[in-house]
Structure 1
Amino acid sequence: MRVGRAAVAVIAALLFLGSAGGCTTSPPVPGLIRMMTWNVNTIHFAPQDWAPVVAARAPDVVALQEICSGDAEELRAILERDHGIGYRLVPGPVPTSVDGGRVFASVDCDRRKIGTGAYGQALLTSLEVVPGSTAVVSLPVVGGLDDDEPRAYLATTLRTQDGRDIRVVTTHLSTRGAVRGDQIAVVAEAARASATAVVLGDLNTSPAETSLLAPLLRDFEDVDRAGNRSTSRNQVDGRESEPQGERIDYLFTRGLATVGEPETYPVTSSDHRPLVADLR
């Protein structure tokens, strides 16, 4: 699926340095699996904005949150056409009919406003997707959801070139404190069933909220051991301001080792920074 991946990454960074918010390229290392998680804020940004950021790092797995299924497919096509990077797409729109059949509001992916639509998570990957392994599962919500949005996790099993299976679970959790604990417990349980697994996404939870993160901290390893890499950011008139926001996006592993240090960097195409890690 990918030819000359390191060379593609270098070229992409040189051509699209400005679009990626000034980030420099870190080419993939042979034998490692590069994973990226990124909340792309589909309401305010578009696939052509995200493509240079993804191409500059050329990850093997890209977990995307706040994205429409159509935008994920368009992003996949742009990466292949303009950057020479081939990905398989695993869409994961969040079900809007939950809680006994009640239909909740989501993002209308056609009109970019609140409504119903194929909105939620997605995965792009150069690895093989194990047939029949993909599931989208609704998560607990707060008292009829109120003004929150429906939540779910997307899970699939990916097979590496040497035949090893990795269960990948990505999600975008509620902003509500109490229900986030319940949601994290469900997500952790879904990933815990596999000896080799990754949980990644926008958890809307700070590292200080250890009681909420407990199910993941107990059974998984946080790639950002120091816990000091911010993934959200403040904006003033469209420009990034200091301080750099807080850390609410995570990448947890089970049965995999983190090689080197994870990376975050400022971008101009979302209100979140990507989080990238190399795994063995």
Structure 2
Amino acid sequence: MPALPSWLTEPLWDQFVALLPKRPEFHPDHPLGCHRRRISDRIIFDKMLQLLRFGCSYEAIADTACSATTIRTRRDEWIQLGVFAQLKKIALDSYDRIVGLVLDQIAVDGSITKAPGGGEAAGRSPVDRGKQGLKRSGMTDGYGIPLGRVLAGANRHDSPLLAPTLDRLDDLGPLPDDITVHLDAGYDSDKTRELLSERGLHGRIAHKGEKAPIQASRRWHVERTHAWQNAFYRLARCYERRATVIDAFFDLADTIITVRSLIRRAWTTHRWDERPNRRP
């Protein structure tokens, strides 16, 4: 069963393989040149998509094509090369060029998920009887395109994570002069308002004690993006222990979300050879 439809997988792979360095089929240092061939990068890439989408273990996804060790080794190799982060940046740049990021309206919010394996970014979850959990402080544009995130233990409050989350805006290049940040009542404090004022940002913050629908504003976009990310079961129930690996899977998921939104929104205005027959 494919993890993603072909109209989404193929453009992802075409760009992904362009970021990989050229590697010989056989290792040049082998004295006889007759050892096993290097496993194809496309096989590992498809396995990574399956891991992200279905949330299964490396051993469960391994087969005669490649072993679990090979998947982990190639994954770490790609992380060290920064391929996942580059892929996400290219997807964001393409979306901004074709559709346009809504950067004058930013939404930030936290989301807690399970982390049964613990690890560097895990902490005691206040909503799961103290079990290990992972919090991500996510930031989206006005449509819900993920712009970045900060990982922390589930016991961290949203408010202290706002500053490092907003720092991700520095990676986006030129920004509008007037930016409004939409936040929920968890950020309702003078400290948050001072932080936004120091950065030249306007805050639209829900007030504590008032019903959310009255002041929901455009905050629902980040809530929807959290739901999109949790549809990838690797992120909804994270067994990875290293923060770099978790970030890599998040970068891959954010790339998929961005490219999927790009294809969906450009379907009615653009034509290309591999365009789906129906709007996705």
Scaled by the length of structure 2, what TM-score is found? 0.29
Structure with more helix by fraction? 2
More strand by percentage: 1
- TM-score, with structure 1 as normaliser: 0.29
- Rg larger in structure: 2
